[in-house]
Structure 1
């Protein structure tokens, strides 16, 4: 495979969300999009792409959650007005009955003890880690197999990027590490000459956020 035919995947974590500011779990029901800071973060990333130093993007994809779609919509003009394609399986881990529940309330409402059991759902009606991993991995596989030789930008979530790191680097779900993926940061993978082997070009590149007030938050 020549370098010109390589598939490049740019994973962008959405901008800061309103649900993070409110400290609630944001699934399909609770997510209302970006905070004011989140919009500024997305605009800063767009300005970075307008400078012309980043790889040219051929296709723009997004999770179907409002915070991801709004981020992608703000990025589109800086990418030549690319259409935002959405994929329902690029969303964050589905919270079920925990959707809209406050971070501090969660522990008292649901008997969840962490991801010690991969098939334990986050809350009734929600996803287990195993189901989330399979669903997200399948969605990413569909994209990279369906659009070989292109550069795709995928606006998604911290949990999705965690799964991608494990998938493309050949790490199992039981491998212990903690990621702290920043809002609108860039994580980049590219194919190599060896079939099925990807190279991690960068993780958590948020140089465009220099000078902005950071917000400490869990991956979502």
Structure 2
């Protein structure tokens, strides 16, 4: 039986001195968080480091990669910051209290019915012929979607699953088994 372990990490704290821009990098605290997580993950035998192309995730990956020098890393669109929003025909599946907030999500962040996020789960979470461990440095809602999937929770349940900056979540896939949530938002290293 082959096993895939996905280590899902929210990027370090973003530097907000320039405002709420999505192009911001890490704050000093964010760098420290990434350093601590890097020390914790040192020695884990990862196949790959995937990271969102946004600066805060790319910089987090860069810091962590210093502790994992032999692990290849790359910007991965599957790890991009996305907000799953219901299509017109699926709005009734979401609690009405969430709809005004979801309606305000900027067009560039919208992922209708979580299609892109589901593609990320199917690609990154697939158990292959060999065991593998992969590190994915991404964003809060992406991790929430993976956790929701692993728990077979309602589609909207990703909302409210809040991940700390540089918190660690691990999801396991085994051949011929449903995914298992190994840990959620572990911050013992921080």
Q: Distance in 2 between matches of 1:147 and 1:46?
A: 26
**Of 3, 20, 31, which residue of structure 2 is paired with 1:39?**
31
Q: Does residue 1:142 correspond to 2:134, yes or no? A: no
Aligned partners of 1:119 and 1:130 also within 8 Å: no
TM-score by length of 1: 0.70
Q: RMSD across aligned C-alpha pairs, in angstroms? A: 2.7
Greater per-residue strand proportion: 2
- The number of residue pairs the alignment matches comes to 177
Q: By how many angstroms is 1:174 displaced? A: 3.2
- State the Cα distance separating 1:176 from its structure 2 match: 7.8
User: Which of 146, 159, 184 is 1:203 aligned to?
Assistant: 184
The counterpart of 1:116, out of the listed 99, 104, 107, is 99
1:15 maps to 2:7: no
Tell whether 2:45 aligns with 1:48.
no
Structure 1 residue matching 2:62: 3-state secondary structure: helix
Moved more, 158-167 or 184-193: 184-193
Change (3 A) 1:161 1:40: same
CA contact (8 A) 1:61 1:87 kept: yes
Given candidates 134, 158, 180, the residue that maps to 2:162 is 180
Match of 1:99 in 2: none
Once the two structures are TM-superposed, the CA of residue 22 in structure 1 deviates from its matched residue by 5.3
Pick aligned residue for 1:126 from 101, 105, 108: 108
Q: Aligned with 2:67: secondary structure?
A: helix
Q: C-alpha separation between the residues in 1 aligned to 2:187 and 2:163?
A: 9
| In 2: Cα distance, 1:36 partner to 1:119 partner | 31
Distance 2:158 2:126 in 1: 28
2:62 to 35, 57, 73: 73
Structure 1 stretches lacking a partner, 5+ long? 95-112, 210-220
Q: Matched residue of 1:201: which SS? A: strand
Inter-partner Cα distance in structure 2 for 1:23 and 1:130: 27
SS in 2 for 1:116: helix
From the superposition, tell whether residues 134 and 46 of structure 1 become closer, same or farther in structure 2 (CA, over 3 Å): same
1:84 matched residue in structure 2: 73
